[in-house]
Amino acid sequence: MDWRKELKENVTTVKELKHVLPLNMEPEDTNKMEKIIKSYPMSIPKYYLSLIDETNDNDPIKKLCIPSIKETDLSGSFDTSGELDNTVVVGLQHKYKQTALVLSTNKCAMYCRHCFRKRLVGVSDKEVSNHFGEIITYIREHDEISNVLLSGGDAFLNNNQKIESYLRALSEIEHLDLIRFGTRTPVVFPMRIYEDEELLNILKEYSKKKKIYLITHFNHPKELTSEAKRAINSLITAGVIVKNQTVLLKGINDNSDTMAKLLKDLTRFGVIPYYIFQCRPVSGVKNQFQVPLKKAYQIIQETKARLNGQGKCFRYVLSNETGKIEILGNMEDEMIFKYHQAKYEKDQGRLFTLNISENQCWI
Ligand code: SF4
């Protein structure tokens, strides 16, 4: 089946979900879930649903794609990184000197329950780039920008023509070293890649002009299926460099057995571990998925102890309004942090310590 048709068969309502998956839900819970979906849509490819182990109530795949009643807890924030403040043209953010970030769509193949852009994915397109010319002009006029991240939503939910337009315009800008795509399609909908010769040919052609990196987002070893590997192989064959960022999530990958297996398998299939993110205090997400910093740091250390140098290429970071901050160490009450990327010049590379309590999940 063509991937576009397949995507249209995504499960988007509680009724459809109950049809394909046995769910023990009281009528009152059904109502609550329907209400959640109205604000934060559900959309699950049949492929991703097939990875769920129906006999396991704590199945990680289930938690990543099916809304939980806990999403009604709205403590936290919907913009934990100050994205609106970094917007220079609608759909274009310029927070770090060298990097431009384009919100190229608000659509995703799946709406992940832990998403930090919950405020816009599948909901509102008012932050999305619809001024292509202005965006390209801004990037062309700022020669400190050395790379552009095409994000969203999911950059591969754009059609091939739009993807090619971006590649054509950006590959002509001399001061760019590379172009990045942010996409979770290798994980949740890999057929978008391996079934689409046209897309692969576009990537192949433009990767000869400018280095193309693809940043994907595997969170659990169960996601590394033969289909996912097929998508990764197709990308690598097309000349694309594939890297992965993972979010450390309670009940999904918050133990070193799972995390080490994930990173080991990724390197085995040619994907470079890039970041492990501390889960942000996003409304509807934090109470469900955040792991306390001290516990998280311990998991990362135990994970690193099991990996070779390639497996531990990643940095364990948290991303807030001021930058990307690496979590470097734990000394009894205090933890050590260092700016890896800073919004303000004064913070570049700055080391600092903070008192962190046992249950504290953010700084
Ligand atoms: S694919 Fe990425 S942007 Fe889309 S819902 Fe999942 S985490 Fe959010």
Look at residue 127 in the predicted model and tell me its pLDDT: 86
- Min mean pLDDT across 3-7, 24-28, 217-221, 324-328 is at 24-28
Cα(231) to ligand 1 centroid in Å equals: 18
Is 112 a known ligand-binding residue? yes
Residues 158 and 48 in one domain: no
64-79 confidence digits (pLDDT tens): 999 998 998 888 988 8
Look at residue 73 in the predicted model and tell me its pLDDT: 86
The whole-angstrom separation of Cα 136 and Cα 175 is 13
Residues 186 and 275 in one domain: yes
Residues 317 and 184 in one domain: yes
Residue written as token pair 């998991």: 299
Residues 18 and 48 in one domain: yes
H runs (alpha helix) in the chain: 3-8, 14-20, 27-39, 46-49, 60-65, 132-141, 160-171, 185-188, 191-194, 197-206, 226-237, 256-268, 286-289, 293-304
Cα(111) to ligand 1 centroid in Å equals: 6
Q: What is the largest CA-CA distance in the chain?
A: 59
- Residue 361 in any domain: the answer is no
**Contact assessment for residue 67 and residue 40, using Cβ atoms and an 8 Å cutoff:** yes
107-130 confidence digits (pLDDT tens): 999 999 999 999 989 998 888 988
Could you tell me if the CB of 121 is within 6 A of ligand 1? yes
Residues 164 and 30 in one domain: no
Could you tell me if the CB of 51 is within 6 A of ligand 1? no
Domain containing 43 equals: 3-71
- Residue 363 in any domain: the answer is no
Look at residue 126 in the predicted model and tell me its pLDDT: 86
Residue written as token pair 């046209």: 198
Cα(109) to ligand 1 centroid in Å equals: 8
The whole-angstrom separation of Cα 229 and Cα 212 is 19
Look at residue 131 in the predicted model and tell me its pLDDT: 87
Residues 92 and 54 in one domain: no
Q: What domain count does the chain have?
A: 2
The whole-angstrom separation of Cα 17 and Cα 62 is 11
- Residue 334 in any domain: the answer is yes
Could you tell me if the CB of 118 is within 6 A of ligand 1? no
Domain boundary among 20, 48, 71: 71
The whole-angstrom separation of Cα 157 and Cα 138 is 24
Look at residue 129 in the predicted model and tell me its pLDDT: 81
Look at residue 153 in the predicted model and tell me its pLDDT: 93
Is 65 a known ligand-binding residue? no
Could you tell me if the CB of 280 is within 6 A of ligand 1? no
Mean pLDDT of 335-347: 97
Residues 154 and 262 in one domain: yes
Q: Which residues of 125-143 are buried (b: 16+ CB within 10 A; e: fewer)?
A: eebbbeeeeebbebbbeee
Phi/psi class of residue 251: alpha, beta or left (left: φ > 0; alpha: ψ in -120 to 50)?
A: left
Residues 317 and 173 in one domain: yes
Is 108 a known ligand-binding residue? yes
Which atom, in ligand 1's list, is nearest to the CA of 114?
Answer: 7
Residue 1 has pLDDT above 80, yes or no: no
- Two structure tokens written together for 80: 């934990």
- Residue 299 in any domain: the answer is yes
169-204 confidence digits (pLDDT tens): 999 999 999 999 999 999 999 999 999 999 999 999
Could you tell me if the CB of 323 is within 6 A of ligand 1? no
Cα(334) to ligand 1 centroid in Å equals: 33
Helix (H, G, I), strand (E, B) or coil at 126: coil
Crossing angle between the packed helical segments 160-171 and 197-206, to the nearest 10 degrees: 0
Amino acid at 188: V
Residues 188 and 244 in one domain: yes
- Residue 281 in any domain: the answer is yes
Residues 29 and 112 in one domain: no
Crossing angle between the packed helical segments 293-304 and 256-268, to the nearest 10 degrees: 50
Q: What band does 22 get if pLDDT is binned at 50, 70 and 90? A: confident
